[in-house]
Amino acid sequence: MVLAAQCGDEEAFRELYQAYRDPIWIMINSLIGDSLQAQDVLQNVFFKAFRGLGGFRFQSCLLTWIYRIAHNECRNHLRKRSVPVIPLEAILGSRDEIDRTRISDPSEARKAVLRDVVMELPLKMREVIVLKYVEDLSYKEMSRILGCPPGTVASRLNRALAELEARLRPFRGIL
Amino acid sequence: MNCRCLFLRRKFVPYLEGGISSRQAERLEQHLADCRECGEFFTRLRAGHQAGRQFGRVGPEIGRRPPDFEELQADIGKTLNRRGVPVRTGGTFLHALTTSFAVRALFALALALSFLLLHSNRITLWRANGRAAMPSKAREYRDFTPLRITDFSSNTKSPVVTEGFVRDVYFDREEKTLHIKLVDVQQKAEPFVICEIPSPGGMTIPREGSHVRVYGMARYDSQPGRGWNEVNPVVNIDLLKR
């Protein structure tokens, strides 16, 4: 299928897109946090992937290769975007308010808090958490995507998890 | 925290996932029992790991579905412009891809043309500075009439290009000009032409005995004591054989 796409077969492009769209879509949304912007990024990712497909040498899994493009594209997008960081409390209200307003649906409250806390992590921490827990990738695959050794990935993941734990500590009551 | 702590901490997540050997797990558990700092960090990490797994199940909040291939094809033109200005190609997805190739080809063509333009400007500037320009091959054959040394006496054309053997090379101090005596046959002193180079800078000066091709203006020097055919000024010399 990849070879056919490399030869310019449109049907092969379609199949590749359908095969890899969903994991890339979830990754982009996890990093960008806005599905409207994520749609533009997804288009850029697949456009660049298909344009560069001729240079793909099968040295890694194609999905890993596209993940890497997506990762770079997300970083570029976030670098260009200059939206001020809004504190979690400004969105969810104070901790007491959260407890009162969402106590009726604790499951939704847990999800909302978890998502917001992860999305507020610095990008480097967020991306390792997304690749590890959302995309379920190995350290080796993560190292290829992030462009750093597996040991660095492990250290970065440790820091990210410790930070996540620290930020979730105030919400223990609802988690 | 020492190097051992740093090394073992990298194994914490694989340990929590059961991804390390039992021997490694034993060593790690022993270390956790001995090192209070790592023990505390492990407790935090385990909580973070559980939260990460929870997030993996929940996933990000996605307000819309990803575009279909057809939508991607239709919208792909928007993503082409890096400045963020929407540009529609109006074609298919493959058309957009080939368009970018066409842009690259045009760019390469523009680059080649710029180089040619620059090169031709350099020649013009060279001439403007009063130095003898090196005519291109096409120009040599178009503007310079081929002429044998034996035919100079009946020649009426100029500029000319002639070939011969260098018999003598000398510098005329009075005229401050380099003279080359060119003969038709190497062993014979006549017939000959004198090639005068007023400004030899940038020109290869041949040695005696070399076979050369000389470009320049054909003249007849009628001064007393001279009375010979000349190529004056010489604009270029091609060395055919040393």
Tokens for A47, please give them: 């456009």
Contacts of B6 in chain A (CB under 8 A): 155
Query: What was the pLDDT predicted at B76?
Result: 64
- pTM of the predicted protein model: 0.55
> Is there a single domain that holds both residue A76 and residue A121?
no
Q: What is the mean pLDDT of chain A?
A: 81
Interface ipTM above 0.85:
no
Contacts of A109 in chain B (CB under 8 A): none
Domain span including residue A57? 2-80
- B79 and chain A: CB distance < 8 Å anywhere? yes
Contacts of B66 in chain A (CB under 8 A): 21-22, 25, 39, 42
Angle B75-B81-B84 (CA atoms, 0-180°, nearest 5)?
A: 90
CA B53 – CA A79 distance, rounded (Å): 28
Tokens for A139, please give them: 């350290």
CA A136 – CA A128 distance, rounded (Å): 10
> Is there a single domain that holds both residue A76 and residue A30?
yes
Query: Can you tell me which residue has the tokens 């969810």?
Result: A92
> Is there a single domain that holds both residue A120 and residue A137?
yes
Q: What is the pLDDT of residues A55-77, one digit of tens each?
A: 777 777 888 889 999 999 998 88
With beta carbons less than 8 A apart as the criterion, state whether B171 and B178 touch.
yes
Please tell me the class of the B140-241 domain: mainly beta
Query: What was the pLDDT predicted at B80?
Result: 43
Query: What was the pLDDT predicted at B90?
Result: 43
CA A88 – CA A116 distance, rounded (Å): 7
Q: Which residues pair with B228 in a beta bridge?
A: B221
Strand bridging mode B228-241 / B192-197: parallel
Single residue among A80, A96, A122 that ends a domain in this structure? A80
Contacts of B94 in chain A (CB under 8 A): 8, 10, 13
> Is there a single domain that holds both residue A93 and residue A67?
no
Q: What percent of chain A shows pLDDT beyond 90? A: 29
Q: What is the pLDDT of residues B75-129, one digit of tens each?
A: 665 444 444 333 444 445 555 565 555 667 788 888 888 878 776 655 444 444 4
- A114 and chain B: CB distance < 8 Å anywhere? yes
Q: Between B198 and A151, whose confidence is greater?
A: A151
Contacts of B40 in chain A (CB under 8 A): none
CA A40 – CA B129 distance, rounded (Å): 56
In the 8-state DSSP scheme, what is residue A132?
A: I
> Is there a single domain that holds both residue A64 and residue A100?
no
pLDDT > 80? residue A142: yes
Single residue among A80, A103, A132 that ends a domain in this structure? A80
| Mean pLDDT lowest among A5-9, A39-43, B62-66, B132-136 | B132-136
User: Residue A8: which region, alpha, beta or left (left: phi > 0; alpha: psi -120 to 50)?
Assistant: left
Query: What was the pLDDT predicted at B232?
Result: 87
> Which residues have CB under 8 Å from A157's CB, separation 6+?
A128, A129, A132, B13
24-63 of B, contacting A, C-beta below 8 A: 41, 44-45, 47-49, 51-56, 58-63
Nearest CA distance, B147 vs chain A (angstrom): 57
- A7 and chain B: CB distance < 8 Å anywhere? no
> Is there a single domain that holds both residue A7 and residue A35?
yes
Nearest CA distance, B17 vs chain A (angstrom): 12
CA B47 – CA B177 distance, rounded (Å): 94
Asked if the Cβ–Cβ distance from B75 to A118 is below 8 Å, we say no
> Is there a single domain that holds both residue A72 and residue A29?
yes
- A111 and chain B: CB distance < 8 Å anywhere? yes
Query: What was the pLDDT predicted at B174?
Result: 73
With beta carbons less than 8 A apart as the criterion, state whether B13 and A154 touch.
yes
Helix axes B93-128, A35-51, angle to 10 degrees: 70
> Is there a single domain that holds both residue A70 and residue A119?
no
Cα–Cα distances in Å, from A41 out to A35, A68, A78, A124, A164? 9, 13, 10, 18, 26
Contacts of B58 in chain A (CB under 8 A): 111, 114-115
- A160 and chain B: CB distance < 8 Å anywhere? yes
Dihedral of the alpha carbons of B163, B166, B172, B177, in degrees to the nearest 10: 40
Query: What was the pLDDT predicted at B131?
Result: 40
CATH classification at residue A57: 1.10.1740.10
Domain-wise residue ranges, chain B: 3-58, 65-130, 140-241
Along the 242 residues of chain B, how does pLDDT read in single tens digits? 666 787 888 889 999 998 889 999 999 999 899 889 899 999 999 999 999 998 888 888 777 788 888 887 776 654 444 443 334 444 455 555 655 556 677 888 888 888 787 766 554 444 444 444 444 554 555 678 888 998 888 888 888 889 999 988 877 777 777 888 999 988 888 889 999 888 766 677 788 888 998 888 898 888 877 888 899 888 888 888 87
- A161 and chain B: CB distance < 8 Å anywhere? yes
Confidence of residue A87 (pLDDT cuts 50, 70, 90): very low
Of B52, B75, B97, the CB nearest to A133: B52
Number of domains in chain A: 2
CATH classification at residue A137: 1.10.10.10
Exposed, middle or buried: residue B166 (CB in 10 Å: 0-12, 13-18, 19+)?
A: buried
Cα-only R_g, chain A: 18
With beta carbons less than 8 A apart as the criterion, state whether B135 and B127 touch.
no
Asked if the Cβ–Cβ distance from A10 to B94 is below 8 Å, we say yes
